[in-house]
Structure 1
Amino acid sequence: MQHKLTNSKVLKLALASAGALLFLAPSLGANALSNSQQDGSENRDSFLVAQGNCPTRRSTVDRTFETPNYYVTICSGDSRNSLGYYVGAAKDGSGGITVPLTRRSGDRYIAANGNTIYAVTPYELRVSQNGRTILNERILAASGDDTVSARGCRNRESTFVTAETASYVISICGGDLPGSYVGESKNGNGRIRLPLQSYGRDRFAAVNGDTRYVLTRNELRVTQNGQTILRETVRNWN
C-alpha cells in the first residue's frame, strides 16, 4: 500500500511539472509574461484577460480562446513580426508565454518555441514537443470568431446536430428541417458545405460528385466510388 501511495505522489508531481513547463520555458524569440499578465481568475472573461497581453502597443488582440486550463490570445503583427503573436496563460496563474506566430492558415494559428509547437483552432489547443503531443485541450469559448467558422451553421439557421470526431466537426443545419451538411477540419485546413441527400433518425447523408459523406451517432464515414476513404468514431454528439 505504501508503495502504491508513493507512486501516486510521484505521478502527480510529474504531471504538475509537465504542465508548468508548457508555459514557463521561453527560449529565443519567446518572452515570459509578467506577473501582472498572469491573472488566471476564472471569474474574468477571457477576452478581458487577454486585453493587456499583446507584447507591444502596435500589436492588438485578434482572437482569444479558452480551454479548461488555459487562455490563449492571438495578437496582430507589428514591425518585429508581421504574422503576430501567440500568448498563452495558465488559468491558475502559474505562468504564461509569448511566442511569435510562424503561420496563420484560416482559423489555425501556429507558433514555435524551440522544439515546442503551439497550434490553436476554434476547436482545440494542441502543444507538441519533438513531434509528440504533450497537451490537447478542447476550446470552451472563443472571441473574434467568424459566425460560420465558429458555429458551423449560418446566422438564422437551425443547428440540428453537432458531432465531433478525432479530426472533424460536423454540423447538420437547416430551417424547419435539416438541409445541409457542414464538415470542418479541426486543423483549420478544410471546410465543406453540401445539401443533404437524405436523412433519418440519427443518420445524415450528403454527396459531392463521387464522394459520399454519411454521419451517424456512432461514426463518420466517407466513401469515394464505393471505397471507404475515411472512417472515424463520433466522440461527441449534441
Structure 2
Amino acid sequence: MTPLPAPFLLAEIIRGCPRAEVVEAYETKTYLAYICQTYDGQFFYRGVNKNNGDQINVMDVLSTDGGTYYATNGAYTYWVNRQQLRVTKNGKTIFSEPVLR
C-alpha cells in the first residue's frame, strides 16, 4: 500500500523574510505580504498564500509618497499598503483583498 502524502500544514509556511529583514508586514484573508530588505540593501516583495504555501518573490520594490509599495515582475505588479493587497496584470486588477487590521 502506498502511503498518502502528508497534508499541507499552515505552520509550515515560513513567516517573514528568510535571509532578509522585514521592513513591512501585511496580512489579508488569503495572503501574507512582506516588504523585505536584504543585507546588502536591496528591497523585495514576498507574498505567501496562506492556503497552500505558494510563494512569490519580486525584487526592486518601489514606493509612493502615500505609503504604497509595488514590485513588477513581467506583466504582474504587486501593490500593498495598510488598506489592501492588489495584483494587476498589464494594468488591470486581477486580485484585490483588504488588509486585516
Read off the aligned partner of 1:220 and give its amino acid letter: L
Shift of 1:197: 3.5
Distance 1:172 1:226 in 2: 21
Let me know the Cα RMSD of the aligned residues. Answer: 2.4
For residue 52 of structure 2, the aligned residue among 179, 188, 206 is: 188
Q: Does 1:171 align with 2:92?
A: no
How many residue pairs match? The answer is 99
Shift of 1:209: 0.6
Distance 1:235 1:172 in 2: 16
Query: Which blocks of at least 5 consecutive residues in structure 2 are unaligned?
Result: none
Secondary structure in structure 1 of the residue aligned to 2:14: helix
Q: Give the equivalent residue in structure 1 for 2:75.
A: 210
- TM-score, structure 2 as length reference: 0.81
Read off the aligned partner of 2:44 and give its amino acid letter: S
Aligned residues of 1:172 and 1:178 also touching (Cα < 8 A) = no
For residue 162 of structure 1, the aligned residue among 25, 29, 33 is: 25
Q: Give the equivalent residue in structure 2 for 1:228.
A: 93
Shift of 1:230: 0.5
Q: Of the two structures, which has the highest relative contact order with CA contacts closer than 8 Å and spacing of 6 or more?
A: 2
Secondary structure in structure 1 of the residue aligned to 2:78: strand
Distance 1:171 1:178 in 2: 14
Read off the aligned partner of 2:69 and give its amino acid letter: F
Q: Pick the structure with more helix per residue.
A: 1
Q: Does 1:153 align with 2:21?
A: no
Shift of 1:199: 1.9
- TM-score, structure 1 as length reference: 0.37
Aligned residues of 2:45 and 2:61 also touching (Cα < 8 A) = no
For residue 3 of structure 2, the aligned residue among 74, 82, 99 is: 82
Q: Give the equivalent residue in structure 2 for 1:71.
A: none
Larger Rg: 1
Q: Percent identity?
A: 29
